[in-house]
Amino acid sequence: MSDARAHYLNAGHSMRSWLLTKDHKRIALLYLASVTALFFVGGSAAVMFRLQLLTPHGHLVLPETYNKLFTLHGIVMVFFFLVPAVPTVLGNFLIPLMIGAKDLAFPRINLLSWYLFIAGAALALGATLYGGVDTGWTFYTPYSSVFSNTYVVATVMGIFVAGFSSILTGLNFIVTIHKMRAPGLRWFRLPLFVWAIYATSFMFVLATPVLAMALLLVGLERVLHLGIFNPALGGDPLLFQHFFWFYSHPAVYIMVLPAMGVISELIPCFSRRRLFGYEFVVMATFGIAFLGFLVWGHHMFVSGQSAFAGLVFSFLSFVVAVPSAIKVFNWTATLYKGRIRFHTPMLYALGFIGLFTIGGLTGLFLATLGVDVHVHDTYFVIAHFHYIMVGGSVMAYLGGIHYWWPKISGKMYPDALGRWAAVLIFVGFNLTFFPQFIVGYLGMPRRFYMYPPEFQVYNVFSTAGASILALGYLLPLGYLLWSFWYGPDAGDNPWGASGLEWKTSSPPPVRNFETKPVVDEEPYDYEGGRYG
């Protein structure tokens, strides 16, 4: 960092210049450090229960501890890693750059969002570590509100507080994308990452308040012994489940839409082709965002909701697969006759397409009422949503980090090592989760600390895969940090990529662009001869 040119990283070296920054790029790095730490906290819990499950009657942890471990894993990974990761790290860094703005519309609110996130994470994590919570990340009532003897209230308040971080981040993005685009950057010239974050922001704004209110009511019910969701006092526990999934199903799309946005950037760049069917991908993004709000009941097929509701939710869940499939076909069609380059980000993107497809197709099994009754609450479900959330979101997040790392840090990491890590993660992931489809189908229920001995072989595969996966995740942590200080300079546009973020220097100056950019080209113009 000794170069003479002024940029956002050398604009101040004090703690204060970071903790009170209003620069969206620095705030993105604050988020990057926070969510990375939280990812490894959530991951360690997974390592512990995977070790417990190595043998049918594992004696590593007590049954109560096991419950607390999988709850911690779920809460941290969903609310404090997967939901915020792509929007707050890559979104924060890239949205102003991609639309040619100097910053987000409300920089102070952006910083406030980070502090709310940290406060929420501290509260939730403090509670889960201090005494633990054993409700699962779903907080089903009346167990969470009446019977559980663990730190439910502090945990739900932590999620409540972090929810405002999501809402304000979404608000900031929506206003920025509407009001601050560079001259010439019409809506249908926007990069698909911007579209994806835009749609995700609406889901933040619309879904999060419902979860906030539901958790507030759980807290009140627990503290004041009210009966809002407690059937013994006239309340309806199904109402809680409806509220919870009204947020938490859209939350799946909050996790995967930004990931799809990343993939839509990577595939054209490393195929040297314009994205196939740009407009269709935009429409599919909004199709997913809209339909995503109408399918929450497929989490409740066996809960006692009416058979008619189950039928409708089943049908709608099939419908939401259509726009997802459109995207997969469009990415694949972009590859066709492309000049494909297998750099690290591209390996993650290709991995995403394969794993997301498996996750999506098994989602159709689960959307089928009869099949769902058979595999409900088994490892089949665990495998399905990990294919979406880890195979999809985490792969895309890592792909995005590798793609934009030269822009973020100004440095290049060792690409060969990066490719090895990507392969390791792909192999480790499949070894961990594919056996869970089988063992789930055979009837192994989720959330138990022991299992019948005939399931052991699948669990041994899973735990072995998890070790490879852990190694795969540690590698990028190591070489990316190394490259930040010691890596070779990357140059402004090492991938020959389109998009405004590559037209400014790396790392970008504090105000992003020396002169206000003007856009005169269509998105992903890789075949027009401008990008070699």
Partner 1 sequence: MKGDGMAESTRAFAEQFDDPLQQKEAAQAGMWVFLVTEVLFFGALLTAYTVYRHLYPAAFREASRRTDLALGSINTAVLLTSSFTMALCVHAAKTGRRAALVALLALTMALGAGFLAIKGVEWAREIHEHLLPGPSFEFPSAYPGEAGRQAQLFFVLYFVMTGVHALHLVIGIVLLGVLAFFAALGRYRSDYYTPVEVAGLYWHFVDIVWIFLYPLLYLVGGPR
Residue 171 contacts partner 1 per CB under 8 A: yes
Longest dimension (CA), the chain: 70
Query: Alpha helices of 296-394 — where are they, by DSSP H?
Result: 307-335, 344-367, 369-375, 379-388
**Residue of the chain from 51, 61, 109, 475 that contacts partner 1 (CB under 8 A):** 109
Question: What is the CA angle 128-207-98, rounded to 5?
Answer: 100
Q: How far is the CB of 153 from partner 1 (least distance, A)?
A: 16
Minimum CB–partner distance for residue 185 and partner 1 (Å): 13
Task: List the interface residues with partner 1, window 472-531 (CB under 8 A).
Answer: 511, 516
CA distance 200 to 47: 30
Binding-site member from 18, 106, 286, 290 for partner 1 (CB under 8 A): 106
Residue 167 near partner 1 by CB under 8 A:
yes
Q: How far is CA 45 from the centre of its chain?
A: 18
With CB under 8 A, what is the number of residues at the site for partner 1? 43
Give yes or no for residue 178 binding partner 1 (CB under 8 A).
yes
Q: Restricting to residues 179-238, which ones interact with partner 1 according to CB under 8 A?
A: 179-180, 205-210, 212-214, 217, 220, 224-228, 233-236
**Residue 444: HSE in the Cβ half-sphere, 13 Å Cα cutoff:** 25
Piece of 114-122, 178-186, 333-341, 398-406 that binds partner 1 (CB under 8 A):
178-186
From residue 107, how far is each of 20, 93, 487 by CA, in Å? 11, 12, 30
Nearer to partner 1, 276 or 293 (CB): 293
Q: Which of 8, 195, 243, 404 binds partner 1 (CB under 8 A)?
A: 243
63 vs 231, beta carbon nearer partner 1:
231
Could you tell me the smallest distance in angstroms from the CB atom of residue 319 to partner 1? 23
Q: Which of 382, 489, 344, 420 is nearest to 50 (CA)?
A: 382
Closest distance to partner 1 from the beta carbon of 234 (Å): 4
Tokens standing for residue 70: 């999988």
- b/e for 451-475, b at 16 or more Cβ within 10 A? beeebeebbebbbbbbebbbebbeb
Q: What is the CA radius of gyration of the chain?
A: 23
Q: Is 445 helix (H, G, I), strand (E, B) or coil?
A: strand
122 backbone dihedrals φ, ψ, rounded to 5°: -65, -45
Which of these segments, 102-110, 152-160, 306-314, 485-493, binds partner 1 (CB under 8 A)?
Answer: 102-110
Nearer to partner 1, 179 or 447 (CB): 179
HSE value, Cβ hemisphere, 13 Å, CA-based, for 231: 7
Stretch that binds partner 1, among 3-11, 41-49, 174-182, 430-438 (CB under 8 A): 174-182
Q: Does 174 bind partner 1 (CB under 8 A)?
A: yes
Answer yes or no whether residue 103 interacts with partner 1 by CB under 8 A: yes
Contact 332, 307 (CB under 8 A): no
Shortest distance in whole angstroms from residue 58 CB to partner 1 = 40
- Of 175 and 333, which has the nearer Cβ to partner 1? 175
Part in contact with partner 1 (CB under 8 A); list of ranges 67-75, 103-111, 308-316, 458-466: 103-111
103 vs 134, beta carbon nearer partner 1: 103
Could you tell me which stretch among 165-173, 350-358, 380-388, 485-493 binds partner 1 (CB under 8 A)? 165-173
- The two three-digit tokens of residue 283, written as one number: 């429409």
DSSP state of 82: I
**Which residue has 């339909």 as its token pair?**
291
333, with CB counted inside 10 A (0-12, 13-18, 19+), is middle
Q: Which is nearer to partner 1, 127 or 289 (CB)?
A: 289
The residue among 220 and 340 lying less far from partner 1, judged by its C-beta, is 220
**Whole-number Å distance between alpha carbons of 142 and 224:** 14
**Residue 390 CB-density burial (10 A; 0-12 exposed, 13-18 middle, 19+ buried):** buried
Angle subtended at Cα 439 by Cα 438 and Cα 443, rounded to the nearest 5 degrees: 115
Residue 417, helix vs strand vs coil = helix
Q: Residue 378, SS3? A: strand
Q: In the bound complex, what is the minimum distance in angstroms from residue 30's beta carbon to partner 1? A: 18
Sign of CA dihedral 316, 322, 323, 324: positive
Closest CB to partner 1 among residues 106, 482: 106
156 is an interface residue for partner 1 by CB under 8 A: no
Sole residue written with tokens 């929007």? 87
Q: How far is the CB of 343 from partner 1 (least distance, A)?
A: 33
Report in angstroms how near the CB of residue 62 gets to partner 1 at its nearest.
Answer: 35
- Which of the ranges 124-132, 169-177, 258-266, 501-509 carries the binding residues for partner 1, by CB under 8 A? 169-177
Other CB atoms within 10 Å distance of the CB of residue 258: 29
Pick between residue 125 and residue 214 the one whose CB is nearest to partner 1. Answer: 214
Does 101 help bind partner 1 (rule: CB under 8 A)?
yes
Q: In the bound complex, what is the minimum distance in angstroms from residue 238's beta carbon to partner 1?
A: 9
Q: How far apart are the first and last CA of the chain?
A: 30
Closest CA to 80 of 123, 27, 109: 123
When asked if residue 162 is in the footprint of partner 1 (CB under 8 A), the reply is no
Q: Counting contacts by CB under 8 A, is residue 58 touching partner 1?
A: no
The smaller minimum CB distance to partner 1, of residues 22 and 419, is found at: 22
Nearer to partner 1, 253 or 426 (CB): 253
Residues of the shown chain interacting with partner 1 in the complex, contacts defined by CB under 8 A? 101-109, 167, 170-172, 174-176, 178-180, 205-210, 212-214, 217, 220, 224-228, 233-236, 239, 243, 511, 516
